[in-house]
Amino acid sequence: MFFFKEKTIPLNEIFGDTFVDIHSHLLPGIDDGAKNIEDSIALITKMYSFGIKNFITTPHVLGDVYPNSTETIKSKLEEVREVLQERGFNDIKIDAAAEYMMDEQFSSRLEINDILTLKDNIILVEMSYFNAPINLYDILFEIQLKGYKPVLAHPERYNFYHNDYQSYYKLKKAGCLFQLNLLSLTEQYGSSVKRTAEKLLKDNLYDFVGTDTHHKNHLRLLEKIGTKKTKKNIEQLLKNNSKFS
């Protein structure tokens, strides 16, 4: 029996000019992503070589760990934009939203509408990898009551749902959109996450994709998704992401 390794294709054959990466950590020094401005520019430059020219970067807003204010995020965004302009990257479009941990502080922000959206009323949210908030469905209801639409970052990475697959349908029914981490299609987060990502993809439960880029190792690994099979599997999701431009 012979096993043929699938031929790789360059990532710029996957990401078209209209693709918008809606999940990344590219702003300098405010979370566990880019460490400084040079790091930010290096990551963006590498992603640019993959054909990604449109970014809505999403620093963590997470309790006392990453207590990023709207002002902090906007200020760091301007810093990155200025340096990109100085270096001649005139065809890169970069905006910023946030990846909000659904915790008490998030509920307080929600109350006063201090929320950075991906576009219009769409917001990126996450939860702990250990367990879902006890009041998860109340929070999702509150988000929508306030007029926002929640996109759950990387649902495949919440291991507590792997043996409770029906919960994914329950979340969708509760008005949650799903964003696939492209790195989940590699070994980055382990085989269980990869299997779950592939199943959610097969069952058409995803709405969008994101790279969730934090550092150069992520980008080295991202090149592994460069296959015709992956391109076909995520084609519609890539088109969906274009709506954020």
Strands, sheet with 54-57, edge to edge from the N-terminal-most edge strand: 20-21, 54-57, 93-96
Residues 6+ apart with CB under 8 A from 148: 110, 115, 117, 121, 122, 123
Encode pLDDT of 122-137 as tens digits: 999 999 999 999 999 9
pLDDT at 2 over 90: no
User: 147 is written with which tokens?
Assistant: 């007029």
CA separation for the pair 53, 63 (Å, rounded): 31
CA distance 222 to 160: 25
111: exposed, middle or buried (C-beta count within 10 Å: 0-12, 13-18, 19+)? exposed
pLDDT at 117 over 50: yes
What six digits make up the tokens of 135?
Answer: 């009041």
Distance in angstroms (rounded) separating the CA atoms of residues 133 and 127: 7
Question: How does pLDDT run across 155-169, given as a tens digit for each residue?
Answer: 999 999 999 999 999
Q: CATH says 20-242 is which class? A: alpha beta
The answer to whether the CB of 53 falls within 8 A of the CB of 93 is yes
168 sits in which H/E element? helix 166-173
Q: d(Cα 243, Cα 2) in Å, to the nearest integer?
A: 42
Q: Are strands 60-61 and 149-153 parallel, antiparallel or unpaired?
A: unpaired
SS3 190: coil
Please count the other Cβ atoms lying within 10 Å of the Cβ belonging to residue 143.
24
Reduced to 3 states (helix: H, G, I; strand: E, B; else coil), residue 135 is coil
Cα dihedral across residues 39, 45, 46, 51: positive or negative: positive
H/E segment holding residue 43: helix 37-49
Looking at residue 166, its pLDDT comes to 98
Residue 9 banded pLDDT, cuts 50, 70, 90: very high
Given a contact cutoff of 8 angstroms between Cβ atoms, the answer to whether 84 and 44 are in contact is: yes
Q: Mind listing the pLDDT tens digit for each residue in 186-197?
A: 999 999 999 999
Which band of pLDDT confidence, cut at 50, 70 and 90, is reported for residue 1? very low
Give me the residue spans of the domains in the chain: 20-242
Any residues with CB less than 8 A from the CB of 67 and at least 6 apart, and which? 61, 105
Distance CA 178, CA 111 (A): 23
What is the per-residue pLDDT across 218-232, written as a single tens digit (0 to 9) for each?
999 999 999 999 999
d(CA 172, CA 166): 10
